[in-house]
Amino acid sequence: MTLTILPRKIFQGVAKRSDMFRLFDRHAKRPNRFDSDQPAIYAGEWFEIDEVAYSYMLDILPPLWMRGAVFAMREFMIGSVTSVFYAIRIDEAVRYFHTYCDLCDSSSVEAMRAAIIERQSRPVRAMSREERLEHIWSTTADDYRGYAGEAWPETVQGYRTVMIYGGREGTSLKLTDDEIAAKLPFHLRHLSFSLAA
């Protein structure tokens, strides 16, 4: 199953260097990950990094292209999707971001920039339900997350899964709001849903 929900913030807060490298290929265990429909899995994902990580990535290889404070990596993730790094002034501070853009779409780089600015310029901190689920999936250890395979009902095969302790109830196909809150780090549990996009 391929979903094309664009764009989507996949990690809350500023990713540390170790988090950044893990987030680069958080779909590494996806079945059939090199099939022709897979670029949509990566394109549109974004998260915040720090200036040190931004500079490090700029120095690794000469970029494919650089436009001001935006540059694209020379190595592609899959198909025409590659890492694009941004330094963007938001609320009088320069902040740094990593995204995956499909360079076949000439507007994708600017569309991602606009989406980041819109999302990060909100006056009150809030997380949508989708952002909460993305954060949980991004931060869950590989051994406890995956994709619904052949043992699952055909209608949900290919969807992402997270293993949780269900107690006497066993496993379920959907997380309740309480289970989502329990899986979030403590400092993110209080954020409201009110500004969900």
Question: Are 77 and 25 spatial neighbours (Cβ–Cβ below 8 Å)?
Answer: yes
**Domain residues of the chain, as ranges?**
8-120, 129-189
CA distance 24 to 19: 9
Question: Are 100 and 44 spatial neighbours (Cβ–Cβ below 8 Å)?
Answer: yes
**3-state helix/strand/coil string of 62-77:** CCCEEECCEEEEEEEE
* Rounded (to 5) percent helix, strand, coil in the chain: 35, 25, 40
Instruction: State the CB neighbour count (10 A cutoff) for residue 91.
Output: 8
- Please give the distance of CA 150 from its chain centroid, rounded to a whole number: 25
In tens, the pLDDT along 109-164 reads 999 999 999 888 865 566 777 877 787 777 787 777 778 777 778 887 777 777 77
- β partners of residue 45: 8
In tens, the pLDDT along 28-71 reads 777 766 665 667 778 888 999 999 999 999 998 899 999 999 99
